[in-house]
């Protein structure tokens, strides 16, 4: 695997998740996320492995077409920071693969916390050493669940799997995205309310 700038999965630099294993298990249960979903995510990872750039083209096209979203990648003069967009894109591609292929263990849970902090003012801009907007509002992270999910179906359908299998991959992806956005909301919550 090529080394990605700022990709620190499994390293000592990664924030520790405040959730216990029991709390994480209950969150997955609340989402109806089961072992079957993990299996279908693995299959989705195989299907998506050579389509990551095409998926990112769709997602970045969406962000680029909405100035209020692109704003979170701009400098103080309001201009997009090209190298910031590029480095985030590379990690975003790795996130697709990690969502599908990594075990949802403590290392995965910790990296979800790291991603949360990088969207929040706690760590935003630090990874890429840029001067940009200090916070991505939680409302946009929650709203982004839909485009990140809905746009995935055509990609999951491209390898000739039967409709039932495609639907199971799609539902597993949907659950995984909701699970992560729930985890990413932690730094936005009032102390004691998460």
Closest of 106, 104, 111, 80 to residue 4, by C-alpha: 111
Whole-number average pLDDT of the chain: 97
- Say whether pLDDT at 38 is over 80: yes
Name the pLDDT band for 166 (thresholds 50, 70, 90): very high
Q: What does the pLDDT read at residue 3?
A: 85
- Domains of the chain plus CATH, in order, are 82-194 (1.10.490.10)
Query: Taking residues 6-10, what's their average pLDDT?
Result: 97
Query: Taking residues 144-160, what's their average pLDDT?
Result: 97
- Say whether pLDDT at 2 is over 70: no
- Say whether pLDDT at 1 is over 60: no
For 148, residues 6+ apart whose C-beta sits below 8 A from its C-beta are: 59, 177
List, for residues 52-71, the tens digit of each pLDDT value.
999 999 999 999 999 999 99
Q: Residue 92 class from Cβ within 10 Å (0-12 exposed, 13-18 middle, 19+ buried)?
A: middle
| Cα R_g (the chain), whole angstroms | 16
């Amino acid at each position: 695997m090529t080394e990605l700038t700022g990709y620190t999965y499994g390293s000592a630099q990664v924030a520790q998740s405040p959730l216990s294993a029991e709390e994480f298990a209950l969150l997955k249960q609340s989402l109806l996320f089961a072992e079957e979903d993990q299996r279908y995510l693995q299959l989705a990872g195989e299907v998506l492995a050579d389509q990551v750039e095409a998926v990112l083209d769709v997602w970045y096209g969406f962000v680029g077409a909405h100035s209020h979203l692109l704003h979170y990648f701009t400098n103080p003069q309001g201009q997009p920071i090209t190298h910031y967009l590029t480095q985030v894109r590379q990690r975003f591609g790795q996130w697709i693969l990690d969502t599908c292929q990594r075990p949802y263990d403590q290392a995965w849970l910790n990296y979800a916390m790291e991603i949360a902090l990088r969207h929040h003012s706690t760590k935003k801009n630090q990874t890429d050493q840029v001067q940009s907007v200090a916070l991505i509002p939680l409302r946009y992270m929650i709203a982004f669940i839909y485009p990140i999910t809905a746009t995935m179906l055509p990609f999951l359908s491209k390898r000739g799997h039967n409709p039932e299998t495609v639907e199971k991959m799609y539902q597993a992806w949907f659950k995984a995205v909701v699970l992560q956005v729930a985890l990413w909301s932690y730094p936005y919550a009032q102390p004691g309310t998460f």
